[in-house]
Structure 1
């Protein structure tokens, strides 16, 4: 989700101060000075939150809250209140306001509430996306691409295990896409209308695990790299599975789970519970006929996201792709496709460049493209990239770029 916060206040100095606070937190503020201006930014597709003052000329913050609720009742609205407005703000929360803050409010308090609202909005938008994908047809065919017999077998296996409510273990080499496979299992299962929640196992405490289960509800909880669960969290997860409580748990790993059990790093009882049904993702070098269609898909996707024309993919390019072993699997192929789409280089295994080098090249290409399109107008280029101005100028300096070099004479 794009981190955007719509700030609505008729006082320009207040709007500027709030905007700066949000920019420094790497959020993307959009400001409006009235109810009318704010309406132009709000829609069911708006992936952010609204922070609005209550007292404004004409229609006030309460009127804006009512209108937002009619447009999208799940869009969080945070009210900024004066001392005398607190009772009204409390009442407004019963009508759907996400929270209220007394003015002036400390930056850390504002950011804490905004981040909570953004997290809630992100979950709503993600669930809507999953439901749209479910409604559009066979998620396994749509999301697990490839024409090889191995890919056909993978899709068939996913559809089979999805029909069971039992726990699933998704295994595959690093970069093979265990999270995507887990998401597809969810989408073709009866739990699809409910949340799909992904968590990194390494960061989970027993308390965080309980919060993740609550967030998933009657849906699916995916534990990424499950072998990194701490001992206490392993015990908490086993206790929950033994009670048969929702959500359904899908675990993913590129490590050998049996070896982790033998080494004493993972609970044998928990491993047995998680490995009720297994989906094994074959490495890319065992299904070479999938390389070309996957690469074309990734290139098209990268060009669509960057608003770039699709480059020609010659037979020579495909030949070079087929000659590689791709130890990084689909993730490496995706990185190579991104570089190719951006015109950075011909396809080569991502291992030839570190991730930081790859991202630096891509970032520089996007900055140059934005400057060229904006004809050197830095403010317009920053807005096109949805970057705060300070962040944009910092990136230009880091790459040794100057906006004036792209202005037309």
Structure 2
């Protein structure tokens, strides 16, 4: 974590006393006696925080606060005053000071406030570094986050597959990101403006498949969970793949299609056609060293989307994340990051979410998931009967199952 403090005070004795307190706590102190001395240290990437007296000869602490904000609006500035009057404190906080301390300052209070400011600064710089990394390199480097050997191997597989026009089968557990891999493949394969068409295989009819192929002309057709295709549609897809066409087929599956075709649940010829190039996404539990980086990335995105200040991610939180097996993989980690960004903590990672504190959309999603599962339970996994009971069109019903990761076969027998 960033451990630098720019300490600004025109009184040498006060400056030395404060500096000693900070240095004894292991902090690096840059001392300055005036606005002029301090302003040269104010850079957009300054690796620390500012602790400044308000009343100084020449330009005062408020001027320094304004300069800091002009250079970097996210740079925390803590203001010190010997007066402790309310109007001064109000002005400081209104103008964007991180906090306000009265001199003489209690050492414990000083270190507590500076510590919070440093944690905030460290998180800002970390998020900036993540965003910068996400904007450099090719699509695999930007979008497939991870520093483990397995993450690098995955990126290499995707790049190699993208260099060809052959069919690709992407295999991974639920929530592992088959759609993301398919999108990266498409982006790496050439002109990103070409169409990328994603279809959920569950409940897909032959006409829907044909329409998807037409829309994917010149680009990529991605069939999500291809193992759920009905037998007749499997034959139709095989016919389409045997015909000349200006589109690329990419399929995703969390099922083992080799086992499925051996059990006569999936067309063997179609399996061998799709299995020309196979990309396996490692489960999150296999690359746990990537969890902290991924979680910070998801927290940054969630906080930005919700216009929230990213919360501090302490070592206790990281340890709790690393202790999980994450059967829901990246999707589950992303959901945990979203809850964490909303201030809901990590306490319910392994248990169903209580409705309290959740937004309307999340509560409705929970209700919908429960209704779908209850209907399937009542009908022994019979999707058609469950869809009829819920008065849903068959395709809509299957789309909802796919969205919630619900498998009808899990309710059979």
TM-score range (shorter-chain normalised) is 0.5 to 0.7
State the distance in 2 between where 1:366 and 1:176 align.
21
Q: Contact conserved, 2:299 with 2:310, CA < 8 A, in 1?
A: yes
Q: If you compute each CA radius of gyration, which structure gives the higher value, 1 or 2?
A: 2
Structure 2 match to 1:285: 285
User: 359, 371, 383: which one pairs with 1:363?
Assistant: 359
Structure 1 match to 2:319: 319
Structure 1 match to 2:206: 206
Please state if 1:173 is matched with 2:202.
no
State the distance in 2 between where 1:240 and 1:365 align.
39
Please state if 1:353 is matched with 2:352.
yes
Q: How many residues align?
A: 231
In structure 2, stretches of 5+ residues that fail to align are 1-133, 364-413
Query: Counterparts of 1:101-180 in structure 2 under 5 Å?
Result: 137-180=137-180
State the distance in 2 between where 1:365 and 1:295 align.
22
Q: Contact conserved, 1:340 with 1:347, CA < 8 A, in 2?
A: no
Distance of aligned partners of 1:347 and 1:178 in 2 relative to their CA distance in 1, 3 Å threshold: farther
Q: Contact conserved, 1:339 with 1:347, CA < 8 A, in 2?
A: no
State the distance in 2 between where 1:173 and 1:217 align.
29
State the distance in 2 between where 1:277 and 1:186 align.
15
In structure 1, stretches of 5+ residues that fail to align are 1-133, 368-409
Q: Contact conserved, 1:167 with 1:273, CA < 8 A, in 2?
A: yes
Structure 2 match to 1:110: none
Q: Please identify runs of 4+ aligned residues in structure 1 that moved more than 3 A.
A: 134-137, 364-367
TM-score, structure 2 normalization = 0.53
- Deviation, structure 1 residue 352: 1.4
- The Cα offsets for residues 57-110 of structure 1, whole Å up to 9 and x where unpaired, read as xxxxxxxxxxxxxxxxxxxxxxxxxxxxxxxxxxxxxxxxxxxxxxxxxxxxxx
State the distance in 2 between where 1:209 and 1:227 align.
14
Please identify, of 336-345 and 136-145, the stretch whose mean Cα deviation from structure 2 is larger. Answer: 136-145
- The Cα offsets for residues 113-166 of structure 1, whole Å up to 9 and x where unpaired, read as xxxxxxxxxxxxxxxxxxxxx997411011100010000000011000001100
- Deviation, structure 1 residue 305: 0.9
Please state if 1:305 is matched with 2:301.
no
- The Cα offsets for residues 220-279 of structure 1, whole Å up to 9 and x where unpaired, read as 000000001111111111001001313101000000101110111110000010111000
Q: Contact conserved, 2:145 with 2:294, CA < 8 A, in 1?
A: yes
State the distance in 2 between where 1:191 and 1:207 align.
28
State the distance in 1 between where 2:357 and 2:165 align.
44
Structure 1 match to 2:273: 273
Q: Contact conserved, 1:299 with 1:338, CA < 8 A, in 2?
A: yes
Distance of aligned partners of 1:307 and 1:192 in 2 relative to their CA distance in 1, 3 Å threshold: same
Q: Contact conserved, 1:213 with 1:246, CA < 8 A, in 2?
A: no
- Deviation, structure 1 residue 291: 0.2
Q: Contact conserved, 1:320 with 1:347, CA < 8 A, in 2?
A: no
Q: Contact conserved, 2:198 with 2:222, CA < 8 A, in 1?
A: yes
Structure 2 match to 1:261: 261
State the distance in 2 between where 1:333 and 1:207 align.
36
TM-score, structure 1 normalization = 0.54
Structure 1 match to 2:250: 250
Q: Secondary structure at the match of 2:202?
A: helix
State the distance in 1 between where 2:322 and 2:338 align.
17
Structure 2 match to 1:231: 231
State the distance in 1 between where 2:345 and 2:361 align.
11
